[in-house]
C-alpha cells in the first residue's frame, strides 16, 4: 500500500514545507521525501 500525504494547511510558520508539498509512505512504512521530513501535530 502506498500513501501520498499532501500539505493542505500550515498553522503558523513552517521553514520546510509549503502548502501543496507532498511526501509518500511506500509499502505502508517507507518514507519517501525530496525534502527533509518535519512533522508536528498540535
Per-residue pLDDT of the chain (42 residues; tens, 9 = 90+): 899 999 999 988 888 889 999 999 999 888 898 888 776 666
- d(CA 42, CA 12) in angstroms, rounded, equals 11
The cell for 15 is 521553514
- d(CA 17, CA 41) in angstroms, rounded, equals 14
Question: What is the structure's pLDDT at 34?
Answer: 87
pTM confidence score: 0.65
Question: What is the structure's pLDDT at 14?
Answer: 85
- d(CA 17, CA 28) in angstroms, rounded, equals 22
Question: What is the structure's pLDDT at 17?
Answer: 87
Q: Contact 22/7 with Cβ under 8 angstroms?
A: yes
Q: How many helices (H) and strands (E) does the chain have?
A: 0, 3
Amino acid at each position: 500500500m502506498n500513501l501520498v500525504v499532501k500539505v493542505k494547511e500550515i498553522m503558523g510558520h513552517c521553514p520546510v514545507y509549503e502548502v501543496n508539498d507532498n511526501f509518500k509512505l511506500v509499502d505502508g512504512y517507507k518514507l519517501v521525501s525530496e525534502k527533509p521530513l518535519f512533522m508536528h501535530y498540535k
